[in-house]
Amino acid sequence: MPAAVAGVRFGVLPATNATFVAAIAIITSLLVSSAADDIELLSRAVVWLLVGYGVGMLASWQLRSVRDIEARQAPYAAANQLMSQLHHLAQRGRVGLDSVQLAVELEANLRRRTGAEQVGVFTIGPTGQSELLACHGDRLALGAFHDQIRQNGTRPPELAELVLRGADGLRGRVLLIRDKGWSDEDLAVGQEITDEYVLRLDTAVLFDDVRLMATAEERNRIAREMHDGVAQEIVALGYVVDEIETVSEEPEIRALAASLRDEISRVVTELRFSIFDLRHQVTEHRLPAALTEYARELSHGSELRVHLVLDESGQSLPMWMESELLRIAQEAIGNVRKHAQAENLWVTLQSDGVDVKLRIEDDGIGNATPKERHWGLQTMTERAERIGACLTIGSRPGGGTIVSLSNTGSLPLEKDRHT
């Protein structure tokens, strides 16, 4: 029994040890016993010991297979449990899963409790790159101080540093600036507030990456469905129209068929651009490359002349910000292509890793105003708010429309978000 139970519960080595101990006990009993009945009984015990060892080996082999399956499934089971907990907490409204919102909330609390005049919340993403999630004050100055601390650890007296430390190490920094300097009591209060947010903020940053991957996969799925479903059916309709035009002898019917064929070709072209929009995304923190590829595709598929100006310096923007900027540019460029009747399109992107300016202008008919049941302009505004930027749409001198986005300077939108 000991060998069989050890094999069932613990595996090969415990079963072997139990058998070895039992064998030593039997041998010892044989050596000290002189009665014939005892010797015969112990001999029978040897047989049962071997049977028990065999059962233990068989059970341990089956147990090893079960454990191998459980080991392969364990990461997914743990991830499922964590996602279920996040979903439950989000439904109850007790935790936000928006890293920017949490960072803004942390920054506002620090200013209120410590009297800081400028605050910057920097996090370290999964790739190891530092990202500015929320800021109140001079973005460039806070970014320069952050780089200075990372390089040599020095900082002026008016600057305080609070660490966002998770279970697996440093997860980011919070920089605070106040003219009168900082006491140990002020820093203790600030660190206490920061510690309350670090786990939620770290979780939200990770969830942002999960959300980006899920969004990209869903966009690709929709693109596949459109290509294999609607697009193919519309192309089939085009063949039917061609057949009607071929077999009909009525001039009016042939003219109507030709007109319908042109309209179907236009719809197919729009679908092709829509599928490309869905599949197109930022990879490896390269927003300029994504914009260049998009402009190249646009110029190949239309007579619109695209003029692209890219001015990027410093480190790359956070991935979630680059994704939002790409979607804003896609929407604005798509509006020009479909509605502006323009001959030229100018796309300008300026970024230094902290501040970003995006400008899209055309020489079309202008009058870019929201229309009923059309949500493009509203969606662009919401995306701009998501990255703490200001989006303006106006007329271009000489005709056309200008869409301008900027997160530099003191933005009323940013103040409202903080409030």
Looking up tokens 């100055």 gives 141
Return d(Cα 26, Cα 20) in angstroms, integer.
10
Q: What is the reported pLDDT for 278?
A: 79
Among candidate residues 262, 347, 260, the one with its CA nearest the CA of residue 297: 347
Q: What is the reported pLDDT for 412?
A: 35
Amino acid at 273: F
Please give the radius of gyration of the chain, using alpha carbons only, rounded to the nearest integer.
Answer: 34
Return d(Cα 168, Cα 281) in angstroms, integer.
31
The per-type count for the chain, helices as H runs and strands as E runs, is: 12, 9
Which tens digit of pLDDT belongs to each residue from 73-132?
778 787 777 777 767 766 665 555 677 788 888 999 999 988 899 998 888 766 667 778
Return d(Cα 270, Cα 375) in angstroms, integer.
17
pLDDT of 400 over the 60 cut: yes
Which tens digit of pLDDT belongs to each residue from 143-202?
888 888 877 777 888 888 898 887 667 788 899 999 888 888 988 999 999 888 888 887
Question: What's the helix, strand, coil split of the chain in %, to 5?
Answer: 65, 15, 20
Looking up tokens 């300097």 gives 181
3-state secondary structure of 135: strand
Q: What is the reported pLDDT for 154?
A: 76
The model's confidence at residue 409, banded by pLDDT at 50, 70 and 90, is very low
Q: Specify the pTM.
A: 0.58
Q: What is the reported pLDDT for 358?
A: 92
Give the distance, in angstroms, between the CA of residue 339 and the centroid of all CA atoms in the same chain. 32
Q: What is the reported pLDDT for 163?
A: 87
Assigned token pair, 390:
């200001």
Question: What are the start-end ranges of the H helices in 34-123?
Answer: 36-92, 99-114
Among candidate residues 419, 409, 197, 206, the one with its CA nearest the CA of residue 320: 206
Assigned token pair, 29:
């009993």
Assigned token pair, 364:
């079309």
Q: 177 pairs with which residues across the strands? A: 118, 159
Which tens digit of pLDDT belongs to each residue from 22-52?
888 877 777 776 666 666 777 777 777 788 7
The H or E element containing residue 286 is: none
Assigned token pair, 156:
């002026």
Q: What is the reported pLDDT for 80?
A: 79
What integer is the mean pLDDT of 264-279? 81
DSSP secondary structure code for residue 353 in this structure:
S
In degrees and rounded to multiples of 5, residue 159 shows phi and psi of -105, 130
* CA atoms in the 13 A half-sphere facing the CB of 280: 28
pLDDT of 414 over the 50 cut: no
CA torsion angle 373 376 380 381 (round to 10): -30
Which tens digit of pLDDT belongs to each residue from 213-249?
888 788 888 888 888 888 888 888 888 888 888 888 8
What class, spelled out in words, does domain 99-206 have in CATH?
A: alpha beta
Domain chopping of the chain, boundaries: 2-92, 99-206, 284-419
Q: What is the reported pLDDT for 346?
A: 92
Return d(Cα 242, Cα 357) in angstroms, integer.
48
Assigned token pair, 207:
């969830």
Distances (CA, A) of 309 to 3, 185, 292: 76, 50, 9
Return d(Cα 362, Cα 190) in angstroms, integer.
48
Q: What is the reported pLDDT for 285?
A: 58
pLDDT of 282 over the 70 cut: yes
Quote the mean pLDDT of the chain: 80
Domain 284-419 CATH superfamily: Histidine kinase-like ATPase, C-terminal domain (3.30.565.10)
DSSP secondary structure code for residue 409 in this structure:
S
What integer is the mean pLDDT of 255-281? 83
Return d(Cα 176, Cα 186) in angstroms, integer.
11
Q: What is the reported pLDDT for 279?
A: 78
